[in-house]
Structure formats: structure tokens, C-alpha cells
Structure 1
């Protein structure tokens, strides 16, 4: 019933868009720019979750053939700056805006429409030659705080301004990355390739890049080790290690998870609204489920049991 209601709302929004298209203006995009299921718009996405957004958009475009959504992938700092400068209105992020970041929109009386659609995880990877397949979270924190670790020679991030960096900085309680033993590249793909070629390094990536990897990375990902991480919050006795599998994300066994959102600050009903409705409804949640991330609403499947068997 919940999914039926969502689809009904999308249909109503679409109808309203059709009847109002004569006079509506999308902020910064001119007259008749887009409606929930048609037109053109740009969706800005955190590059740590680039693969899943590409997959959902591919299906969305196949369903709504008059829709043309261009995906632009940026790091978290670039996303926030683009929103503050008013060049991005609909974004996919792993956090909500702060009060300070949102102040510009409040002054213009723009209320955001927020759609939580999945739970993601920060994953640690290492070269296949590594002796250990697990890592203690306190070792990661020690390196982030500027200390040294015998188990982590190099900690490799995708970008100094990425959401992965910001997440771990907050977790470790520090303001910025130290200069020693930590290196930043340009993308999650570069981190995966670097770790594959360099023993002794530990890479930090969004788990989506491992579970829903691009075809060009399939062989490489199969030839690296995804590290298990301990969770001191739930294990008070013998130490256990958990990998960023969907089941461990669902049970909160994996310690480094984060919510994913579509943030719509456009102040109007448009193609961004249609995409957010789609990714949060039944079909979109099915795609999330198959990707290895945890959907907000786990789609159910009805099984008919025959009595004549």
C-alpha cells in the first residue's frame, strides 16, 4: 500500500506539472525546463556512491523516456559549495546540510525535500598479498590522528575533500588529516587500482564501488582483499570482525555506516522530484537491494504455495 501511495503521488505531481507548464519556471533553467517525469535537469552526486546512482538513472531513463537527467559526480566539499553558490539544487549526499550551510535557502524560504533511500558503508581494502584479512578500528583511528601503525603502512583516500575523509575525521575526533602515512588520490577507482598494485597499503572507498563496480574494475576488485573490521560497540567479549556486507549493514554489525539522501533544494516540483520518488519507491529500492547497499524499504516478494503438491 505504501508503494502504491508513492506512485499515486508521483502521478498527481506529473499531472500538475503538465497543467502548469505554461507558466512555470525552474530556478536558473528557464521556462518549461522539466516536470517529474520529463524534461532535462542535472543531478549532482557524491562520487563515493557514483555507481549506484548511475544504475538507478539508467533504469529511470528506460521507464521515463522523455526524461534526461545528467549526472555530475563531485566530492562532498564541491557538492556543498555548488549548493551554496546556487549552481546545484538536487544532490545525492551521505549527510544532511548543516544549519549554516542551509541558511541561504532559509532566507529565501526554500524548504528542502529530503529522501533517504539507502544505508552505505565505508570499506577498507588491501592488496591480496596481505597476511591479515582484518583490521582493528583503533589502528585506523591512530593513523588518522597522526600516529604510526605496524599494520598500516599507507592509508589511501580517494580525495582530501571526500565524504569518506569527512566521515572518518569526525569518527576520530580530529579536524584534518595528518601529513604522515596518509595519501589522497583523485577518485575511488584510483584508490582501488593503487591498492591492487601496492602491497602494504590500505585503501578507503565507498562499499558501492566494490559491490556494484564498473566493468573496467571487475577483475581488479576480485583480486583485492576487503578487510573485516571490529565493532567494539556491540562486542564486549571476544573480538569479532565484520565485512561491509549487506547483512552486516542491516544488523549494525559493521561499525562504519552512513545514510544516503537525495536533497532537493529546487523549491519546485520537477525532474529531481521524480527521481527522488522513484529511488525511494518499490522499483528504486529493488535496485538498491541488488546493489549490496541496504534499502530503506526492503521490497517483499510474494510466493504462491500450491496445495496440490
Structure 2
């Protein structure tokens, strides 16, 4: 009888007093726009930007913890499907089919463009050919043009090799969709393991064209990016031989560089939580400045106020 009385008292106390330790444990699991812990799935092509945004956000809100996982684009989408992440940073919007999958589960899907990136082409420092038309890139990617002599008759470099960062890469998917209508790339295309391995491979191979995301090599203030840039040359691309543009912020912003793409923050959920706060920060003044300093084009460029004094 005494035991039953003690058990009843415990149950009564637990449910009547919500401020007890049990309630505190539950409340810690619920994130807010500036507190809590969530996982973020990141396309490894924009890892540098994601790291910078997360570091700045966490320094501004010490009670916020965003746990990043980096992987190729296909894996990022799979993490959203598996519900292991409800926040992602990638270089495309969700497809209609992907969005419907989440909407069928009564989730709200928010897709916010936070900046613009680009797919860039790299060649060895000793390769004199670093300018291509869109048509030439299409023929090279498809395998129709597989020799450097087809690009320039005098070339002695032999076979053209194209290397990508990963077979599930957003770079490979983007070019296949943009240039080949989603078709297969040529047999002269190979996948390595990382963007960094692409840069190293191109630096050691005169007959290779490397394909990476601009965010991996575009930050002029990042020592690692600067070191990578010193090993290779960027290729200029355009509609014709008389209109060729390098992949830089100016040419991406004007649309002159033909292979630019958005950087998207994908948020899946039913309420405003830490993902909402991070999205607001990323699109705010400080977040957009970080995008710009990463070598990309911010979705909302900062306004410049100029004071004119009339004498």
C-alpha cells in the first residue's frame, strides 16, 4: 500500500507541475529561430559558403547549433527524403516531383535563393587553349570532340580528358541538363572524388579540362582558394569566339557568363524554427556580405549610399 501511494504521488507530481526537469528536457528538443540544434545537408560544391554562413550565424547566436553534413547533390536530396535533415543548401531548386513528395506529408517547402554560383572550367597552366564557345564545350562534354586538334589544329596535346568532382555531382548534372538535355556525357568524361582532387589533377595534366564550382576556387581572401587558383587557369566561355567571358562576379551578375546557377536554401517543415532564423540571417545584410566575400553574387546586393554635396 505504501509503494502504491508513493507511485501515485510521483505520477501526480509529474503531470501537475510542467516546470519539472522532465518538461525542461522536452523543451530543449524544440528549436527556435535563434536556439536549438538542427542538421544541415550541404552540397559539397558550396561548402565554403555554407561554412562561412554557419560560423557567422552561430557566433551571433551562441545557443544555436547547425550540424553540417557535406555530400554530392543526390545525397543531399536523399537526406531530405530520409528526414535526417530538413534544411539544405544546394545549387538548384527541388523538382516538382520532389516538392510534391514533401507536400503530400503536409510539410511546407520553402526555397530561397541566397546567391549565384557558376560551373567553371579549368586547364593546366601550360595549356594555351583556355577559351571556348558554348558549342565547343557541348561537343567536348558529349564526346563529339575528343581531341585537342579539333579545338585548335596546331595542338599536340592529344586526347581531351574531362574530370568532374563526383559522379553524383551537381556540376555533372548541371552540364548534362544544360548542354545535353539530360543525356549521358561522353566516354572522355571521368569522375574523381572531390573538387580539390580535380584541381590537383588538372595541375598535373596538360590535356585535361577540370569542372568545379566557383565557390571552391572563387574566394580571393581565402588562402586555400588562392593556392588552388595559382595551380590552374580559368577558361573563358561565350556564345561566340568574339564574346568570351571569365567566371567572375561581374560576368555572373550581368548574365554574360553562360554557366551560372543559383545557390538555394531549401527548408522543409511545419513551423518556424532554427532553419527560419538561419534563412533570415543568410538573406540579411551580413549574410549577403558573406556571399559576396565568398566570390559569389549575393541575391540581394547591399545598397550603396552616396552623399553628394552641391556647392
Please report the TM-score for the alignment, with normalisation by the length of structure 1: 0.83
The alpha carbon displacement at 1:296 in A equals: 1.2
Matched, 1:244 2:247: yes
| 1:260 CA displacement | 1.3
CA-to-aligned-CA distance 1:59-81 (integer Å, 9 cap, x gap): 11221111111111111111112
Which deviates further from its counterpart, 210-219 or 275-284?
Answer: 210-219
Do structure 1's residue 195 and structure 2's residue 207 form an aligned pair? no
2:144 counterpart (142, 147, 156): 147
Is residue 280 of structure 1 aligned with residue 287 of structure 2?
Answer: no
SS at structure 2 position matched to 1:212: coil
Q: Which residue of the other structure, out of 178, 191, 197, is the alignment partner of 1:171?
A: 178
| Higher Cα radius of gyration | 2
> C-alpha distance in 1, partners of 2:120/2:249?
12
Count of aligned residue pairs for this structure pair: 278
Q: Where do 4+ consecutive residues of structure 1 move more than 6 Å?
A: 22-25
2:163 is the alignment partner of 1:156: yes
Correspondence 1:1-309 to 2 at 5 A: 32-151=29-148, 153-178=160-185, 180-212=187-219, 215-232=223-240, 239-304=242-307
Return closer, same or farther for 1:145/1:179 CA change in 2, 3 Å cut-off: closer
Residue 4 of structure 2 aligns with which residue?
none
SS of 1:36's partner is coil
SS of alignment partner, residue 168 of structure 1? helix
Q: Which runs of 5+ in 1 are unaligned?
A: 1-21, 233-237
Deviations 1:224-251 (A, max 9, x none): 100000135xxxxx62110111110111
Give unmatched runs, 5+ long, in structure 2.
1-22, 149-158
TM-score by structure 2 length?
Answer: 0.82
How has the CA–CA distance of structure 1 residues 202 and 127 changed in structure 2, closer, same or farther, with 3 Å as cutoff?
Answer: same
CA RMSD of aligned residues (A): 2.3
CA-to-aligned-CA distance 1:93-120 (integer Å, 9 cap, x gap)? 1111122222321211112122111011
For the Cα contact (< 8 Å) 2:31–2:37, is it kept in 1?
A: yes
Q: How far, CA to CA, are the matches of 2:107 and 2:116 in structure 1?
A: 26
